[in-house]
Amino acid sequence: MRYRELKRCNNQRVSEIALGCEGFMNKSAQEFKAMLDEAMELGVNFMDMYTPNPQFRDNMGAAIRGRRDKIVLQGHICAVWENGQYLRTRDLEKTKAGFEDQLCRLGTDYLDIGMIHYVDSESDLKEALNGGVIAYCKELKAAGKIRAIGLSSHNPLVARKAVETGDIDVLMFSVNAAYDMQPASEDCNDLWEPENYKNGLIGMNSDRKALYELCEREGVAIDVMKAFGGGDMLSAELSPFGVAFNEYQCIEYCLTRPGVVSVMAGCHSVDEIKKAVSYLEAPREERDYSLVLSRMEKFKFQGNCMYCGHCAPCSVGISVADVNKYLNLSLAQGEVPETVADHYKLLEHHASECISCKSCERNCPFGVEVVQKMKKAAEVFGY
């Protein structure tokens, strides 16, 4: 397993492949534990628990008994169980009762991340920020009942405003190559509405790109939901692009977006867990999403670095994807943030070493003018 840090959560290390909870629903306690055992055996140490379902929480509590410190739990605040079903609420009394129920059933006295559940509209964000939810989260954090405050969203503009408050440590966001082309919307159904793809699309949506860059700069960790678009991305018939990606390509796409630390894979069985984790051993050709993205007719990503790494190897060993990422982060900020400068410094080879051989440009499926980018990076970083 490979791990990345939750920078605003004491640099807690979380597995790149993490678990969503939907595949654990309606399982017996034994089946639940068997799936979690296998995942943890494979090095998975991070799980999202958006559901307030009592049976899920009881099963989870039983499955983690005696090893609470071995797993990073992301539980949702404002998702409660009412009349036998899930309810999203901003009602503070219900929210507080739901949180205490969560801790009690899990048999723990803290969550690593308390995630404000599903905020997609400006008005809902205002309510969450002004109606007491964020104040409650801060109280929980001060009391050690949550270690970090999170927020989940499908809307890059709302998510950005939330991150800009400075109160959000972790963002759960819907990421895949198709959604990344769509403009912001307060209705998440727009992300998979066929009408919104029928005329083709050009380039990654600038609000989404700006959100990922902001999170990377601010140390806000993104954990990904909908990496497979609910499975649609894996089917040529259902994918908005009309071509199928494989699981590895979807995961690699997400993990190469700035700010992303983990993909919450929605595994329904031990075999699906093994398949998701096998991404780490998959050959490069099977992970290379650029091959699919660059061959689509109606959808074009030309001209912008997608951080896919397809241009490697560089003649002098520069990691072109990393240099481009740090360059874009700095250009978006209008200066070189200290953390980005540090990351750049740690690279083994720097942009100034580029000999303009253009081998990378011949390999790049997206027509990126890499030599120009290296010159710009050498100017911006000074070497």
Least distance CB 316 / ligand SF4 (angstroms): 5
Number of chain residues interacting with ligand SF4 (CB under 6 A): 28
Instruction: Please give the Cα distance from 359 to 364 (Å, whole number).
Output: 9
Least distance CB 241 / ligand SF4 (angstroms): 17
Give residues 152-191 in contact with ligand SF4 (rule: CB under 6 A). Answer: none
Instruction: Please give the Cα distance from 22 to 8 (Å, whole number).
Output: 27
Among 190, 366, 375, 376, binds ligand SF4 (CB under 6 A): 366
Among 248, 360, 377, 381, binds ligand SF4 (CB under 6 A): 360
Among 371, 375, 378, 380, binds ligand SF4 (CB under 6 A): 371
- Only one residue has tokens 């083994």, namely 348
Instruction: Give strand pairing partners of 19.
Output: 47, 265
Is there binding between residue 368 and ligand SF4 (CB under 6 A)? yes
**343 or 358: whose CB is closer to ligand SF4?**
358
Q: How far is CA 156 from the centre of its chain?
A: 12
Is there binding between residue 110 and ligand SF4 (CB under 6 A)? no
Among 68, 141, 161, 358, binds ligand SF4 (CB under 6 A): 358
Is there binding between residue 355 and ligand SF4 (CB under 6 A)? yes
The contact pattern for ligand SF4, residues 315-354, with x = CB under 6 A and - = no contact, is: xx-x-xx--x-----------------------------x
Give residues 290-309 in contact with ligand SF4 (rule: CB under 6 A). Answer: 290, 305-309
**135 or 316: whose CB is closer to ligand SF4?**
316
**5 or 369: whose CB is closer to ligand SF4?**
369
**97 or 357: whose CB is closer to ligand SF4?**
357
Is there binding between residue 19 and ligand SF4 (CB under 6 A)? no
Residues that bind ligand SF4 (CB under 6 A): 290, 305-311, 314-316, 318, 320-321, 324, 354-360, 364, 366, 368, 370-371, 374
